[in-house]
Amino acid sequence: MILTAENLIKEFSTPRKVLRILDGVSFSVSAGESVAITGPSGSGKSSLLGLLAGLDRPTEGRVLFKGQALADMGEDGLSAWRRNCVGFVFQNFELVSSLTALENAALPLEILGTSTRDAAATAGNALETLGMSSRADHFPNELSGGEQQRVAIARAYVHQPEIIFADEPTGSLDEETAESVVKALLQVNEERKTALLLVTHNPDLAGRLDRVLTIHGGSVA
């Protein structure tokens, strides 16, 4: 197993009460597997993805990567794991506003010490695959939502992570562009055996992945 969620509980404290969003979520993902996560708005999909990627900590329970608990990696170990092994497409993209599309897409490689030239070449190829070559030197505020989304997707896989988490990666895209993005993600999944955990509201898209998990009432089925 590449990733295991063990009895995950996530609570948020609000001024009036404690909200239990995830109430004992357990499942495993094998290397190279593609898994869709679906469920109603507010059911905890983004929260779950954040826990699985080590961006946030569960109230109880554990996440294991190849048998090692994220909680046991230490801050530096966890950061190194995220840099090397994880790609993440945020629901709101989270591009760096002061960097161009190309620089944003190249960022994971730059952080890993790849030369600027090689990083730009790899990121440029990814942007081309996603139909974004003509916008490579635009800043995020000069890009449409769908264009920003495609830069965020390029950034999630340029460094050849072992697992990609994608939070509604086609949410801002028209049908045709969504198809090219899905193809790119599935191609990475197939060719590099990169595990893919993808949140989507689209049943057709979910059906194209190996397995569908549905979150409802804090549990996954």
CA distance 113 to 123: 14
List the single partner that 4 binds among ligand ATP, Mg ion, none, CB under 5 to 8 Å by kind. none
Quick one: which of 16, 41, 67, 141 contacts ligand ATP (CB under 6 A)? 41
The answer for residues whose C-beta is within 8 angstroms of residue 91's C-beta and 6 or more apart is 46, 167, 168, 171, 199
Instruction: Report which residue type is found at 141.
Output: N
C-alpha Rg value of the chain to the nearest Å: 17
Of residues 198-217, those binding ligand ATP (CB under 6 A): none
Read off the tokens for 151: 């830069």
Q: Does 200 bind Mg ion (CB under 5 A)?
A: no
Q: Which is nearer to ligand ATP, 45 or 155 (CB)?
A: 45
Per CB under 5 A, contacts with Mg ion among 78-117 are: 91
Q: Which of residues 11-30 bind ligand ATP (CB under 6 A)?
A: 12, 14, 19, 21
H/E element holding 58?
none
Q: Going by C-beta distance under 8 Å and a sequence separation of 6 or more, which residues neighbour residue 64?
A: 1, 3, 4, 6, 70
Q: Which stretch binds Mg ion (CB under 5 A): 24-32, 38-46, 68-76, 186-194?
A: 38-46
Site string for Mg ion, 139-178 (x = CB under 5 A): ----------------------------------------
Instruction: Specify burial of residue 49 (Cβ count, 10 A radius: 0-12, 13-18, 19+).
Output: buried
Selected from 15, 17, 18, 42, the binder of ligand ATP by CB under 6 A is 42
Asked if residue 172 lies in contact with residue 10, where contact means CB atoms within 8 angstroms, the answer is no
Hey, which residues does 63 pair with through a beta bridge? 5
Task: Identify which of residues 20 and 192 has a Cβ nearer to ligand ATP in the complex.
Answer: 20
Of 45 and 135, the one with the shorter C-beta distance to Mg ion is: 45
Nearest partner of 155 among 173, 134, 129, 180, judged by Cα: 129
Two structure tokens written together for 54: 């080590």
Nearest to Mg ion of 90, 103 (CB atom): 90
CB of 60 or CB of 137, closer to ligand ATP: 60
Q: Please report whether residue 172 would count as binding ligand ATP according to CB under 6 A.
A: no
Applying CB under 6 A, among 8, 25, 35, 45 the residue interacting with ligand ATP is 45
Regarding 46 and contact with ligand ATP (CB under 6 A), the answer is: yes
Number of residues lying near ligand ATP (CB under 6 A): 13
Contact 22, 10 (CB under 8 A): yes
CB distance 2 to 30 below 8 Å: yes
Q: Does residue 46 bind Mg ion (CB under 5 A)?
A: yes
Per CB under 5 A, residues contacting Mg ion are 45-46, 91
